[in-house]
Amino acid sequence: MATINIKPLFDNVLVKPLQSEEKLPSGIVLPDSAKEKPQVGQVMAVGAGSVNEKGVKTEMVVRVGQKVMYKKWGGNEVKVNGEEWMIVEQKDILAVVE
């Protein structure tokens, strides 16, 4: 597997979505078309932060390796080594999952 060399700019975060359960508790297996996109993923890279209109720097709260929950609608899908990952703004990350 090739080394990933993606460095998000400003307050953007590169997130690798974690796979959701493919089988319901009843044993029914869901086809890909019926599955919702996951909203939990692992932070793979973070930008350096941004500067607001008053010149104050926004610090990055999330770190590489953390598991996060992000907004369902938002961000941009990108292909990394054939997988669909997300680039989201830090403000679209709702929580750190521990």
The Cα–Cα gap between 88 and 70 comes to: 8
- pLDDT score recorded for residue 37: 61
pTM, two decimal places: 0.77
**Which listed CATH number (1.20.950.20, 2.30.33.40, 3.40.50.10240, 1.10.260.40) goes with 12-97?**
2.30.33.40
Q: How confident is the model at residue 7 (pLDDT cuts 50, 70, 90)?
A: very high
Domains of the chain, by residue range, sit at 12-97
Average pLDDT over residues 64-86: 91
- pLDDT at 12 > cutoff 70: yes
Is 60 exceeded by the pLDDT of residue 94? yes
Instruction: For residue range 16-70, list pLDDT tens digits in order.
Output: 998 765 555 676 665 555 455 668 999 999 999 998 899 999 899 999 999 999 9
Q: 3-state SS of 61-75?
A: CCCCCCEEEECCCCC
Q: How confident is the model at residue 1 (pLDDT cuts 50, 70, 90)?
A: very low
Q: How many CA atoms lie within 13 A of 68 on its CB side?
A: 28
